[in-house]
Homo-oligomer: A and B are copies of this chain.
Amino acid sequence: MPPAPGDHDARRRDVSEAVWRVLAAHGFGHLTLRAVAAEMGVSTGMLTHYFQSKNALVRYAHAVAEDHTNVPARPAKGLASLREALLDVVPLTPEATVMNRVWVSFWDAAIGDPELGAGEKARYERWRTKLRPHVEAAVAAGEIPATVDIDDVTTAAAALTHGIVVQALFDPDRFPPDRLIQLIDNHLRMLSGQS
């Protein structure tokens, strides 16, 4: 039986939270209607009112992850705000760790699925677009040599950050927050020409 109309929003929140908990605990590869239903303590059949297919659940999971990835844009001031923007992404808190686990876990499916792959490409474009004004401001402020290529610096900052994220996810003892901050700071110091 479909849920009563009045219950719909509350139930939708329950579904969103259950999807997030499954992603956070086990990664995308374990996201199934059955797992979400078990997390909610309901029947798989009930969930088919929300998701007619695995594909619908997958697209919904990405929307849920976007909702949980609430990293606001920061005013672009130069290296200091670039630093903040990069530190927003690395796993300095349990919440940021979960967020990163979920996004890294999406890459497997995205590699084998053109639509999801296009989504990841677009996410990287959005992230670089978000980082770029900080790099431009740093060049304008003379904090980074004006000879650099802005796109290269932006791409490399994103790459270094995600590369650290992946190493940290699999080896958190080696990468506590202060070490993550140090690796970002080393990179920014090199960028400013004071290696």
What's the Cα separation between A170 and B128 when bound, in Å? Answer: 14
The contact of A145 among B25, B193, B195, by CB within 8 Å, is B195
* A107-154 CB contacts (< 8 Å) to partner B: 107-112, 117, 120-121, 124-125, 145, 148-149, 152
Is A162 an interface residue when CB atoms closer than 8 A count as contact? Answer: yes
Q: Are B167 and A155 in contact (CB under 8 A)?
A: yes
Contacts of A192 in B (CB 8 A): 195
Contact-size category for A: 35 or more
How many whole Å from A163's CB to the nearest CB in chain B? Answer: 3
How many whole Å from A102's CB to the nearest CB in chain B? Answer: 9
Q: What mask results when residues 152 to 195 of chain A are scored 1 for a CB within 8 Å of chain B, else 0?
A: 10011011111110110111000000000011001100111101
Q: Are B107 and A111 in contact (CB under 8 A)?
A: no
Q: Are A171 and B124 in contact (CB under 8 A)?
A: yes
Q: Are B101 and A169 in contact (CB under 8 A)?
A: no
* A1-32 CB contacts (< 8 Å) to partner B: 25-30
Instruction: State how many copies of this chain the complex holds.
Output: 2
Q: Are A107 and B108 in contact (CB under 8 A)?
A: yes
Contacts of A110 in B (CB 8 A): 170
How many whole Å from A23's CB to the nearest CB in chain B? Answer: 9
What's the Cα separation between A192 and B190 when bound, in Å? Answer: 9
Q: Are B159 and A183 in contact (CB under 8 A)?
A: yes
Q: Are A152 and B182 in contact (CB under 8 A)?
A: yes
The contact of A155 among B117, B164, B190, by CB within 8 Å, is B164
Given contacts A27-B112, A104-B111, 13 further A-B contacts (CB under 8 A): A29-B108, A105-B107, A107-B107, A124-B167, A125-B171, A149-B186, A156-B160, A156-B187, A163-B164, A190-B191, A190-B195, A191-B195, A193-B193
Q: Please list the 6 inter-chain residue pairs (A to B) with the smallest Cβ-Cβ separation, ordered nearest first.
A: A159-B163, A108-B108, A163-B163, A26-B112, A27-B112, A27-B111
